[in-house]
Structure 1
């Protein structure tokens, strides 16, 4: 997100010509991975020898090319989905927590802990565009383009600390079913990031909560504390995170590829795969920002690269926010929220109330009694109770 435009000077030479023609849907439809040279990915040799190593490299290149062109063609399909966009928005607006629970394994909706509101946590490196994403989501569902921005966007991160307090945003503004949490950016210190993420994912998040990293110096800590205008006690409700949206700056990914500096991508890889951000086998959704500063070909390269790096499907789980077209931006945001909410419902925790737990224990005892002689079980249980009582009396004496 952001503003301005930039040339495709960092693209591989073999993709430079394609980048100029890929901005129209007609040219995209003409692309086919079998028609393109293997040199789409930099470093691919023009001729393949009989060695197994080169054959493996050629196979990887073909897969990369196919994924790249599949992503490129997916942008063309946006016009075909114009008719279903409003229905998709209405579906999200009507959604209530738990509506998309899949009653599998003999469970029912009553077996899950259904929250008052689905909570989506935005996580991302410094300058990834989390606050801007909040504003774009708000505009999509409020339909009020004249309304002021809700989230404060930092245009000069060297002069400001960015977001220093957890911020809850209901989507739309008067909704009680869906909220998005803007968080403080991640640092380059992975262990410190992990401790922060683990706290959010295990203890929950609360609006207005101060965020201080272990790596913050004395001055930074003092400044953040001085910005707090309320006492330690907050009336805001603590919410359990139901799903994570990983926000990535597309420009930084591309620059990291161009400079062959893997530091930024390494931070993405390690953080994305941090176990506490996943819900069983479901990893976070990924949002690529700053699309208005990238060409269509560059955006396709970034999604393909991220899909390869993170091990997720680039079309279905990586959402590119173009920023230049209101329709395409709205479509990408609706797709991203639908994906996130549906996975949040599917991965709601089981109800751990005492009643449910007592019922589970009762069924376990009954199964055990059916397997063994009832009298023997009763005798053993009675002896255990007597022993525990005698030990308790002994301790009191």
Structure 2
């Protein structure tokens, strides 16, 4: 197997012209497709060059690393990436049987397309779509949560939930619904209903019966992945419309998400609708506005090729970036599992609750008799 670090000049020229190496068309690359860097001053790289270096890292690792990373996800079991901290043993941690990753984003951001790409890259499903996408139709929306076993394996240690797209015009209401998902948990075919849905967009799919819904397991969300349509955000900014950018910031900084994940993973989609310079510039603008690193925890994923097909093997950089994003999500999930609540802890909680109730009762009596005493004093006067 050929070492990717020892490519000939002819191979480098060919690789720089490949569609999935879109970033190599910017001015920071020479005619051989090599990034022009000042090796003596790497500590003062501009954010733009840092993004280009990150893309080069993915391109270097992807050909050899994709199968290895995919194997880690196939053999993954919940808790495999847990690390001992605070002197607590793994058996004392509250690790669920299935780790749940929730995709969130505004309508048209590409969540369902990402799910189909996961099936293609991780489950080797080929071109078969498993999740229905909105495409170019603005009237399409789904009202239900959908659980996806993207590995298509009976022993999969994680699942991915495709949620209903949030609304730019009702950000606060959308975030309230999102907070409910993170606090109460989610289940397959869970209805995601909002006020005004009856007269707006039509329901997609039949409404499941209550008896069938009771058979689905409730899942606690372990990791949230924010999906953003970078083309929509950038084009809106060019027109002077900051609503998509501000809404994305409100979503990314949602307290419920930050409580679940201190550093949510951010995936940019639809970047292929922009030029290379616009694509990088849009990523930098979003990163700066959100106040986050432009490289760590951010991924640029193409959901469809120019022919309208899933990239999969034709774009190893996209396939690897998506796989690494899921891998990072599982690492974050396994490192955030809480300790189990033991019987002693329940007793302490119960005693604390009883003492609080008793204290509240005596406080009420003290206030009642104090008011009664002042009233009697006034009557005597």
Compute the TM-score of the two structures, normalised by the length of structure 2. 0.75
Partners of 2:89 and 2:349 in 1: CA distance: 15
How many residues of Structure 1 are paired with residues of Structure 2 in the alignment?
320
Match of 1:224 in 2: 203
Match of 1:267 in 2: 247
Partners of 1:87 and 1:297 in 2: CA distance: 32
Instruction: Please show how residues 19-58 of structure 1 align to structure 2 within 5 Å.
Output: 21=27, 26-27=32-33, 29-30=35-36
Residues 33, 66 of structure 1: 8 Å contact kept = no
Match of 1:137 in 2: 118
Compute the TM-score of the two structures, normalised by the length of structure 1. 0.72
Which residues of structure 2 form unaligned runs of 5+?
Answer: 1-23, 306-313, 363-381
Question: 1:158/1:79 Cα in 2 relative to 1: closer, same or farther (>3 Å)?
Answer: closer
Where 1:239 maps in the other structure, the secondary structure is coil
1:335 to 300, 316, 324: 324
Question: 1:356/1:95 Cα in 2 relative to 1: closer, same or farther (>3 Å)?
Answer: farther
Residues 245, 287 of structure 1: 8 Å contact kept = yes
Residues 110, 269 of structure 2: 8 Å contact kept = yes
Instruction: Please show how residues 206-217 of structure 1 align to structure 2 within 5 Å.
Output: 206-214=187-195, 216-217=196-197
Instruction: Please show how residues 231-242 of structure 1 align to structure 2 within 5 Å.
Output: 231=210, 234=213, 235-242=215-222
| 1:25-50 Cα shifts (integer Å, max 9, x gaps) | 94451256999xxxxxxxxxxxxxxx
Instruction: Please show how residues 1-397 of structure 1 align to structure 2 within 5 Å.
Output: 21=27, 26-27=32-33, 29-30=35-36, 66-81=46-61, 82-146=63-127, 148-160=128-140, 162-175=141-154, 176-188=156-168, 189-214=170-195, 216-220=196-200, 223-224=202-203, 227-231=206-210, 234=213, 235-279=215-259, 282-323=262-303, 324=305, 325-354=314-343, 357-358=346-347
Residue 338 of structure 1 deviates from its aligned partner by 1.0
Which residues of structure 1 form unaligned runs of 5+?
Answer: 1-17, 36-61, 365-380, 389-397
**CA RMSD for the aligned pairs?**
3.3
Match of 1:372 in 2: none
| 1:60-84 Cα shifts (integer Å, max 9, x gaps) | xx98x70111102322223321222
Partners of 1:33 and 1:191 in 2: CA distance: 47
